[in-house]
Structure 1
Amino acid sequence: MDGDGVNEAEGTDGRALRPGWTTGACATAAAAAAATALFGGDFPDPVTITLPGGQRPAFALAVTDRGDGWAMAGVIKDAGDDPDVTHGALVRARVAPGPAGGGVTFRAGPGVGTVTLPGLPLAVGEPAINPVPRAMIIAAVTTVAQAAGRAADLVVEIGIDKGEVLARRTLNGRLGIIGGLSVLGTTGIVVPYSCAAWIASIHRGVDVARAAGLTHVAACTGRTSEATVARHYGLPEQALLDMGDFAGGTLKYLRRHPVPHLTIAGGFAKLGKLAQGLMDLHSKRHAVDLDWLAGVLADLGAAPDLVSAARGANTALQVLQMADAAGLPVADRVAALARRVALGVLEDAPITVDVLVIDRQGGLIGHAGAVGQA
């Protein structure tokens, strides 16, 4: 398959990581093949489609079938070297005639979800087939119809085998997408280990929370902090944003799409990075600056030997343990500094911010800011 125009990522062994194809691209290829068969042709195998960027990849068909007034084709999704939950899934398209003049309409087949909450780029009740994949499918089947001298009045049903099970490993339930996966993709190409999909899911989470009228959301670095903040504030699932390491992407989106109250929750080390002013909290890209952390202890009045020991510590956790033993509220100070950084990124957005520092057992060990505090 052709990966033209894709910037290749590099693996830990120095090998260029192989790009793959989005669910939307696979659904488009399957729909094009099914439409060809519906109009009396043979199933094209491989089937070639045009992506938004002009690339023309070819996809092998894994399954085909047809009957009276319908045709179906399926493509195995190849996500390349990206750890995508849908890698290897069978994406099916069933195409049948629709009402005259109705154009192309979409249905959710088995394994594709349905939108049940506002705030997504699709109306409630619609199949979770995003706008760009819809446009790709419409363009592909229209081209096939025109070549056959037929009108593109078609019903396209997209399904993903075992999609309902795979969806449990995604944020779909939280976003109100029920019954299966979403058909996604803006370029048709999966860039290995891209941050784009995760950040996009954060953005959609903010959109859903705002559309639901929620006034308080929590951006969390992991499941433990998420569970703690949900208990602490009694927040519904739609209020929880799986921020992960993407503090910058979360805060910048909230700056443009504010929610009245934001809680940031995470572990001591990750929030220590945010307190330093880092927007990417991933351990492979940034480590906690132990000299900086030792300086925080000094500001709290730590003895010189403790400050020196902190500079020589192996981990941020070790510094936390040293501070706890000395009765120094370092987690509160890190929370306060992280809150200051977050407010700086949010600029003048009308958002109240508090920060919770959570230990590995889910305990609250540091806090800054309060509801109603600017």
Structure 2
Amino acid sequence: MSESGTPLRRGWTTGACATAATKAAYAALLTGAFPDPVSITLPGGQQPAFALAVERVAADGGAATAGVIKDAGDDPDVTHGALVLATVRAGEPGSGVVFRAGAGVGTVTLPGLQLEVGEPAINPVPRRLMRGVVAQLAAEHGVAGDVVVEIGVEGGEELAQRTWNPRLGIIGGLSILGTTGVVIPYSCSAWIASIRHGIDVARATRQPHAIAATGDTSERAAQRLYELPGSALLDMGDFAGATLKHLARNPVPRLTLAGGFAKLSKLAAGHLDLHSARSQVDLDRLAEWTAEAGGSDALVAEVRGANTALHALTLTRAAGVPLAQRVADESLRQVGELLGAAPVEAEVLVVDREGEIVARAGHLTPAE
């Protein structure tokens, strides 16, 4: 909901748009005709249909290109209105689906991301969705599905300068993103109001234990431990401070705060708003904690120069240095300070991208 109480319109990620364009382009390559609109199935089961803004086939018939205009709904997304293009051509036999970065899509040049150095900045879930539509069409037409998929974004190189891509070593354009395919409009005050409502519901239903998570992956990790009802789940997102301050005034007996390493690194350093636009991971502090945890001088230097928090976590885990545990401990300390004298027994779970709990502080035990 917006601050005025009207519903905010959801939109579609660049990954969803790229998948729709890929499906249309591959269909045209196989049949000579573009499906318009073109529908796809998202991870959550939604089946949106996308109108095509571009339809063209190469003069020799060896490639087809389709384009979709990204609609981010009411979210202030930098890529709203951008033209996402997919060009599909035949690949080498047995190659499967090979991804290429077209104009406006970046290339990964530094470690610490979900993709290998040298790969086009097309994230894992969009890749899976695109492979899925290729496999579907290939099966329908009795072909192998060996193709090269090139994704581009018109004006993407300029748009990328308004994102964190240059600092992350993603050079030449934007990233093709999205884990659900859906863009949820971002309204700070509305989200915080929802958190407060969630806490109030948990108290009203006499929940003895609540989970506040930064995202779906960390919430699922905590749920594997406790299997709490929906009324005990708080969609905290980036608003750790707002969540904890409301809990301090309106306590529940037990709290599990779960989040990714990067988000909780910020909380551990004292940031209460964990959004990338309003707080950044302090690599110098992570390096100091690495040294205090017994890391070598070389490892400390690597952490200080890491590309991302994920990169720092990977380096320290490989070296057997418990940096994640220090982040959990410091996060729990921050939680305690914000809760003050409120009668809340709290714990913190640090969760990696795969949903594994890599550190835990507070160690609540499941209620009998």
Pairwise TM-score range, normalised by the shorter structure: 0.5 to 0.7
Residue aligned with 1:136, SS: helix
1:273-303 CA distance string (max 9 Å, x none): 994349xxxxxxxxxxxxx9xxxxxxxxxxx
Runs of 4+ in 1 over 4 A off after TM superposition: 194-199, 202-207, 217-230, 233-237, 259-262, 272-275, 343-351
Root mean square deviation of aligned Cα = 4.2
Task: Name the residue aligned to 1:41.
Answer: 32
- Tell me the distance in 1 between the aligned counterparts of 2:45 and 2:179: 13
Q: Structure 1 residue 346: deviation in Å?
A: 7.7
Task: Name the residue aligned to 1:140.
Answer: 133
Task: Name the residue aligned to 1:149.
Answer: 142
Contact 1:218 1:239 in 2 (8 A): no
- Tell me the distance in 2 between the aligned counterparts of 1:63 and 1:92: 8
The answer to whether structure 1 residue 50 and structure 2 residue 41 are counterparts is yes
Residue aligned with 2:168, SS: coil
Task: Name the residue aligned to 2:211.
Answer: none
1:359-374 matches, within 5 Å, as none
Q: Read off the aligned partner of 1:192 and give its amino acid letter.
A: P
Task: Name the residue aligned to 1:276.
Answer: 338
Task: Name the residue aligned to 1:120.
Answer: 113
1:101-250 matches, within 5 Å, as 101-193=94-186, 203=260, 238=307
Residue aligned with 2:165, SS: coil
Quick one: which of 6, 21, 30 aligns to 1:30?
21
- Tell me the distance in 1 between the aligned counterparts of 2:162 and 2:336: 27
Q: When the two structures are superposed, what TM-score results if normalisation uses the length of structure 1?
A: 0.56
Identity of aligned residues (%): 54
- Tell me the distance in 1 between the aligned counterparts of 2:324 and 2:119: 26
C-alpha spacing 1:260/1:14, structure 2 compared with 1 (3 Å): closer
Report how many aligned residue pairs link the two structures.
Answer: 251
Q: Structure 1 residue 120: deviation in Å?
A: 1.7
C-alpha spacing 1:103/1:11, structure 2 compared with 1 (3 Å): same
| Greater radius of gyration (CA) | 1
Contact 1:119 1:204 in 2 (8 A): no
Residue aligned with 1:174, SS: helix
- Tell me the distance in 1 between the aligned counterparts of 2:163 and 2:96: 32
Task: Name the residue aligned to 2:194.
Answer: none
- Tell me the distance in 1 between the aligned counterparts of 2:270 and 2:157: 26
- Tell me the distance in 2 between the aligned counterparts of 1:47 and 1:117: 35
Residue aligned with 2:324, SS: coil
* Structure 1 gap ranges (5+): 1-9, 210-216, 242-255, 265-271, 279-291, 293-342, 352-374
Residue aligned with 2:55, SS: strand
Contact 1:20 1:80 in 2 (8 A): yes
- Tell me the distance in 2 between the aligned counterparts of 1:145 and 1:38: 11
1:243-273 CA distance string (max 9 Å, x none): xxxxxxxxxxxxx9628689x9xxxxxxx99
C-alpha spacing 1:196/1:225, structure 2 compared with 1 (3 Å): closer
Q: Structure 1 residue 349: deviation in Å?
A: 5.9
C-alpha spacing 1:218/1:180, structure 2 compared with 1 (3 Å): farther
- Tell me the distance in 2 between the aligned counterparts of 1:167 and 1:103: 29
Contact 1:107 1:156 in 2 (8 A): yes
Quick one: which of 324, 341, 353 aligns to 1:258?
324
1:69-107 CA distance string (max 9 Å, x none): 100000000111111111111100000000001111101
